[in-house]
Structure 1
Amino acid sequence: MSGTAGNSPHGGKPRGIVVGVDGSDQSICALIWAAQEAQRRRTPLHLVTAYTVPIFAASGLDGGYATVDDTVIREGAETVLNQASAKVADYDIEIHASVETGDAAGALLEQSENAELIVVGSRGRGGFFGRLLGSVSSALPAHAKCPTVTIPLSCASRLPEAGVAAPEDQGRPSEQPDVEPVVLVGVDGSEQARAAVLVAAEQAQRWNMPLRMVCAVPPFTGSLAWVPAPLDREALYADIQIQLDAGKTWLQSHFPGLQISHKVFDGAPVEVLIDSSATGQLMVVGSRGRGGFAGMLLGSTSQGVLHHAKGPLMVVPDHYDPRLANRSDFGPLLGS
């Protein structure tokens, strides 16, 4: 383990895994998850906290603005960072840490240009350490250049090393769903979802776990009044199953040793993904998707899942993967 508060030792943006910390319980859970993932990947872990200097409007006749000395604020940020570094000191990983000034979302977005992964808590604290979590966890997945993982506080029971109490509204342990050793990925037939499936497969292979593709078929409502004829739901399900089978065969060609399955659920995509997120080690979605009968799994839906996921959620940004080129060779495409 090495590293202190400061810039990346390589003089540029950090590589490896970047985790946003602000001292909140959520960020501690994110920190432990990120450290465990960095150890599994054998990649460096970079801790980042950020603060802004408040600007006050002057009350004198001369007008203008006045800033405060940021020494105390920076020292507080460094204390948070040092405590976080100590929390993961025993992991067999290379650790670096830095205090950034300015908007926390902007700082982490800049880090995402070279990082493998950005990890944050799903909600955080206010104050001078600045929006590192909270609204930042919404801004990051939509604009980050690398996958973003958000860790909700409800994951505290999965991360005992964090030493954080789970929320009181989680219910008794007997009421909690069993967490399976599986990586889940939302699919809706879009190219973005297929790119996310490849990232999810890589993660499942890295963790030596099965991969399960999750597809939601929402109920038909009045909003579909333009449909010219009643849709045969059984035929729709059969068609989706054929296309999912084709997708599984394609994915298996790129990951021959990976155990892959798929499951179709009746229900609104947001609800299906939120419920499913409680049962797997990780839920993966793309940052955007398509509308249509198979879904809206991504796009605005990914935002809904982001705020209510019951387990770790990875959002994969739009990107081109050359392995997508031969998908049509394996059969019909979902949603086409």
Structure 2
Amino acid sequence: MNGNKTIVLGFDGSPNAQLALDRAINEAKTRDGLLRIVGAYPDSEISGTGLVRIGAVPGFSEAARAAMTKTIDDASTTARDQEVKVESVVCPGNPIDVLVEQSKSAELAVVGARGTGGFFGRLIGSVAASLPAHAECPVMVVPSEQAVAKGRTSTTTDADSDFSGNVVVAVDESGSGIRAPSEAARLAAAHGLPLTIVGVVHVSYGAYGWSTVSVDLDVITSEARATLDECEKTVKTDYPDLQVSKRIIASHVYARPPAVILAEISATAETLVVGSRGRGGFTGLLLGSTSQALLNHAAGPVMVVRN
């Protein structure tokens, strides 16, 4: 973490990007930081076929730059109207590459889960899936209004599964590394919110649907408690006044796989924080199917922290 309090926003003007802008403004104000609004436009090919070069279409690159510049200028005006310090960046290139480069000097990157489609849609759709695995800072992915409504409608909550008003960090038996709990604590403290550390334990049944699950679960749960205690100790060292609670949730690859549990948590959590890699149920997180399922179905902001 470079500590320069710069929030990078990948923006394309879509409705989902507008929601990401709102969250980025909130983060910049909360951290008293700089909001850098970034727009990328294509300058090499008209389509993915590679058959037609932009250079062969007079004025195309200039028009693309002009359109993106206006989009970024409008977003910058919105942010400045809320008394946020703003700078804008408009440049040609692959949006993922552009944002990865910008992340090197940022405290947090924010993107929407969906974009406009076509050229500029790449800024969000593929970026939300790819940027968290490559960025040099934590990445917050903000869902669309439709995803929020669908997720909260389909999720049944009770006292044990309601994380309202909490920043939640989900860890497996590896603890998701040191950074995810620490970044979650930092986010919670900045917003004056409590932190809940959730241990997701992975229960594997035998090939024929049976095993000594009760014995295995006791062992796994004990290990999970130890991991949660260690995470709490770590965050309390830096944030002694932070309110911290812990919960353990069992995951099963068929009935309740990790992605389902994480999506359910996101439906009520203020923000869900996950590490980019883990063992057990989170193996390959943000590099395979778990990542796609979570980011596609999350009903609230998800902040991904590379370990």
Tell me which interval the TM-score lies in, with the shorter structure as reference length.
Answer: 0.7 to 0.9
Per-residue deviation, 1:298: 3.6
- Relative to the length of structure 2, the TM-score reads 0.82
Local SS of the residue matching 2:215: coil
**189, 193, 200: which one pairs with 2:177?**
193
State the match for 1:203 in structure 2.
187
C-alpha distance in 2, partners of 1:114/1:34? 16
**309, 312, 321: which one pairs with 2:301?**
312
State the match for 1:221 in structure 2.
205
Local SS of the residue matching 2:80: coil
Q: Output the amino acid matched with 2:35.
A: L
C-alpha distance in 1, partners of 2:179/2:208? 28
C-alpha distance in 2, partners of 1:286/1:210? 19
Q: Could you give the per-residue CA deviations for residues 215-271 of structure 1, whole angstroms, max 9, x where no partner exists?
A: 22233233699x899734234324432442343234323321111111111222211
State the match for 1:106 in structure 2.
97
Per-residue deviation, 1:288: 0.9
Identify unmatched segments of 5+ residues in structure 1: 1-13, 59-64, 155-165, 319-336
Change (3 A) 1:205 1:137: same
C-alpha distance in 2, partners of 1:168/1:255? 30
C-alpha distance in 2, partners of 1:168/1:187? 23
- Is 1:43 matched with 2:69? no
CA contact (8 A) 1:52 1:130 kept: no
Q: Output the amino acid matched with 2:28.
A: A
Q: Output the amino acid matched with 2:278.
A: G
Identify unmatched segments of 5+ residues in structure 2: 252-256
Change (3 A) 1:304 1:168: closer
C-alpha distance in 2, partners of 1:288/1:224? 29
Q: Could you give the per-residue CA deviations for residues 282-324 of structure 1, whole angstroms, max 9, x where no partner exists?
A: 11111111126xx548454344322221111111112xxxxxx
Q: Output the amino acid matched with 1:138.
A: A
1:140-179 matches, within 5 Å, as 140-154=131-145, 166=146, 170=150
State the match for 2:124 in structure 1.
133
Q: Could you give the per-residue CA deviations for residues 19-62 of structure 1, whole angstroms, max 9, x where no partner exists?
A: 0111111100001100111011111111111111335747xxxx
CA contact (8 A) 1:186 1:193 kept: no
Change (3 A) 1:199 1:128: same
Q: Output the amino acid matched with 1:133.
A: I
* Structure (1 or 2) with the greater helix fraction: 2
Change (3 A) 1:100 1:289: same
Q: Output the amino acid matched with 2:92.
A: T
CA contact (8 A) 1:21 1:31 kept: yes
Change (3 A) 1:234 1:140: same
Per-residue deviation, 1:130: 5.4
C-alpha distance in 1, partners of 2:101/2:40? 13
- Is 1:181 matched with 2:165? yes
- Relative to the length of structure 1, the TM-score reads 0.75
Local SS of the residue matching 1:189: coil
- Is 1:30 matched with 2:20? yes
State the match for 2:239 in structure 1.
255
State the match for 1:71 in structure 2.
62
Per-residue deviation, 1:121: 0.3
Q: Could you give the per-residue CA deviations for residues 37-90 of structure 1, whole angstroms, max 9, x where no partner exists?
A: 1011111111111111335747xxxxxx83442222222112211222233232
C-alpha distance in 1, partners of 2:175/2:225? 18
State the match for 2:88 in structure 1.
97
Q: Output the amino acid matched with 2:74.
A: Q
Change (3 A) 1:168 1:211: closer
Percent identical residues = 37
| Number of residue-to-residue matches in the alignment | 286
CA contact (8 A) 1:179 1:279 kept: yes
Aligned-CA RMSD value = 3.1
Per-residue deviation, 1:102: 1.2
Q: Could you give the per-residue CA deviations for residues 176-212 of structure 1, whole angstroms, max 9, x where no partner exists?
A: 8676211100111326433210111111111111110
State the match for 2:111 in structure 1.
120
Per-residue deviation, 1:96: 1.1
Q: Output the amino acid matched with 1:24.
A: S
C-alpha distance in 1, partners of 2:173/2:99? 30
C-alpha distance in 2, partners of 1:18/1:149? 10
